[in-house]
Amino acid sequence: RQALFIGLSASKEPLMMQHREHLVVAVPVAVFAAAGGFLVGQYLSRRGCKKGQVNSSISKDSPKVVHSFDMEDIGTKAVYCRCWKSKKFPYCDGAHAKHNEETGDNVGPLIVKKRDA
């Protein structure tokens, strides 16, 4: 029994050293893998953003698309597109319905009308 007890206490020290040696290797590998995964994720998300542009065809030669209208020119009511899919842009032609069905989005038009007196 005494030899078994001595063997157990003697084997704990090398086990602790093996544990430390394992951590010395495992921690840098885990940090490197996490950093690499983060960087790859950032690269892929930025690369994919260009494919997800909202405006796919309206005034692409302009750095910013802006339309303005005088209230007097609107008449009683105007319906403007917010999905960028309308063939009559900036006016809505109902193209958002197909867009919503395909993507699960819930975009709708902007309706501008004169206040009832």
DSSP assignment of 70-104 equals -HHHHTTEEEE-SSS--TTTTB--SHHHHHHHHH-
For residue 43, CA distances in Å to 6, 51, 53 come to: 56, 14, 17
User: Given 51, 64, 88, 113, which residue is catalytic?
Assistant: 64
Contact 100/66 with Cβ under 8 angstroms?
no
Which backbone phi and psi does 82 adopt, to 5 degrees? -120, 0
Sign of CA dihedral 84, 88, 90, 93: negative
Q: Would residue 113 show up in a list of annotated catalytic residues for this protein?
A: no
Catalytic residue numbers read: 64
